């Protein structure tokens, strides 16, 4: 049972390139909820590891650096600004260097524990939340009132990523992006801790043939229907 004017957590999980972030952000705005991008937190940890020249195998070093960085958000900004060592970290988290190592960083058990703890602390302060990632409905918020799982074919996801990167002024090779996406899925689905899975009780949305606007409409409709039924 839930009401849309009460504390409510909505989770959106799924692989890269399904449009999760922009859809989650728009859904949050439509429902008057806060928006949490948990991928940005793992990307921030990867960026800090790169800055400190830590090797991917140095789990203790990466976790210590991420803890020190106090990864969080400035909620006065829209979307909330990613904070690392008290400073806003911008689009650097989307760089090719960060993207290349982030899945490996996100596979570090102790780092995931730290991030899960932070995400729950954020939800305690922002109890009306749309949160997106890979493990939000399965591990972090298993009691969330509404859970979505967004999916799309690798080809469609590669095309979408290519458009995003072009907008950031990066050169793209769509075939290479597709291979990268497949490899990243495998890594995200295969890890022992917090793997990418379709959470029990989640609503599956295949976004391959849908526009961003159609996906947002669909999610909003589903949430409002569930709230009316509750
Ligand atoms: O959604 P994204 O591409 O910004 O995510 C970056 C990486 O972080 C990706 O490899 C998956 C990982 N991730 C994760 O393991 N758990 C989350 N809750 C969010 C992201």
Nearest CA to ligand 1 atom 5: 39
- Residue 53 clears pLDDT 80, i.e. is over it: yes
DSSP strand pairing (81-84 vs 72-74): antiparallel
What spacing in Å lies between the alpha carbon of 132 and ligand 1's midpoint? Answer: 9
Instruction: Provide the pLDDT for residue 165.
Output: 84
Q: What is the pLDDT of residues 135-165, one digit of tens each?
A: 999 999 999 999 999 999 999 999 988 998 8
- Residue 221 clears pLDDT 90, i.e. is over it: yes
- Residue 188 clears pLDDT 90, i.e. is over it: no
Instruction: Residue 47: name the closest of 12, 2, 4, 96 by CA.
Output: 96
- Residue 50 clears pLDDT 80, i.e. is over it: yes
Instruction: Residue 146: name the closest of 46, 39, 11 by CA.
Output: 11
Calculate the CA 188 to chain-centre distance. Answer: 12
Does the C-beta of 39 come closer than 6 Å to ligand 1?
Answer: yes
Cα–Cα distance list, 33 to 5, 7, 107, 198 (Å):
9, 9, 29, 23
Q: Which atom of ligand 1 is nearest to the CA of 106?
A: 15
Q: Which atom of ligand 1 is nearest to the CA of 94?
A: 4
- Residue 169 clears pLDDT 90, i.e. is over it: no
Mean per-residue pLDDT for 179-206? 91
- Residue 170 clears pLDDT 90, i.e. is over it: no
Instruction: Provide the pLDDT for residue 171.
Output: 85
What spacing in Å lies between the alpha carbon of 39 and ligand 1's midpoint? Answer: 4
Q: Higher confidence at residue 28 or residue 95? A: 28
Cα separation, 22 vs 140, in Å, equals 21
Does the C-beta of 188 come closer than 6 Å to ligand 1?
Answer: yes
Nearest CA to ligand 1 atom 11: 103
Q: In the Cβ-directed half-sphere of 82, how many Cα atoms lie within 13 Å?
A: 21
Cα separation, 38 vs 83, in Å, equals 13
Query: Could you confirm whether domain 8-228 is CATH 3.40.50.300?
Result: yes
Average pLDDT, the chain: 94
Q: What is the pLDDT of residues 58-117, one digit of tens each?
A: 999 999 999 999 999 999 999 999 999 999 998 899 998 999 999 899 999 999 999 999
What spacing in Å lies between the alpha carbon of 86 and ligand 1's midpoint? Answer: 22
Q: Percentage of the chain surpassing pLDDT 70?
A: 99
Phi/psi of residue 12, each to 5°? Answer: -130, 110
């Amino acid at each position: 049972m839930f009401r849309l004017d009460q504390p409510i957590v909505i989770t959106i999980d799924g692989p890269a390139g399904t449009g999760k972030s922009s859809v989650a952000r728009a859904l949050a705005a439509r429902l008057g909820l806060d928006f949490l991008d948990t991928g940005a937190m793992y990307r921030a940890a990867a960026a800090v590891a790169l800055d400190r020249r830590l090797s991917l195998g140095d789990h203790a070093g990466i976790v210590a650096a991420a803890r020190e960085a106090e990864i969080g958000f400035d909620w006065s900004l829209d979307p909330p600004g990613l904070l690392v060592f008290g400073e806003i970290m911008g689009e650097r988290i989307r760089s090719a260097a960060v993207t290349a190592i982030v899945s490996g960083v996100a596979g570090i058990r102790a780092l995931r524990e730290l991030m899960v703890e932070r995400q729950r602390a954020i939800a305690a302060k922002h109890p009306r939340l749309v949160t997106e990632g890979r493990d939000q409905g399965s591990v972090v918020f298993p009691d969330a009132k509404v859970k979505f799982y967004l999916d799309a074919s690798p080809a469609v996801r590669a095309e979408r990523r290519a458009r995003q990167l072009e907008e950031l002024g990066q050169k793209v090779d769509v075939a290479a992006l597709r291979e990268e996406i497949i490899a990243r899925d495998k890594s995200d689905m295969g890890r022992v801790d917090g793997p990418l899975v379709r959470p029990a009780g989640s609503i599956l949305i295949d976004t391959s043939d849908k526009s961003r606007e159609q996906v947002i409409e669909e999610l909003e409709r589903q949430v409002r229907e569930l709230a009316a039924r509750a």
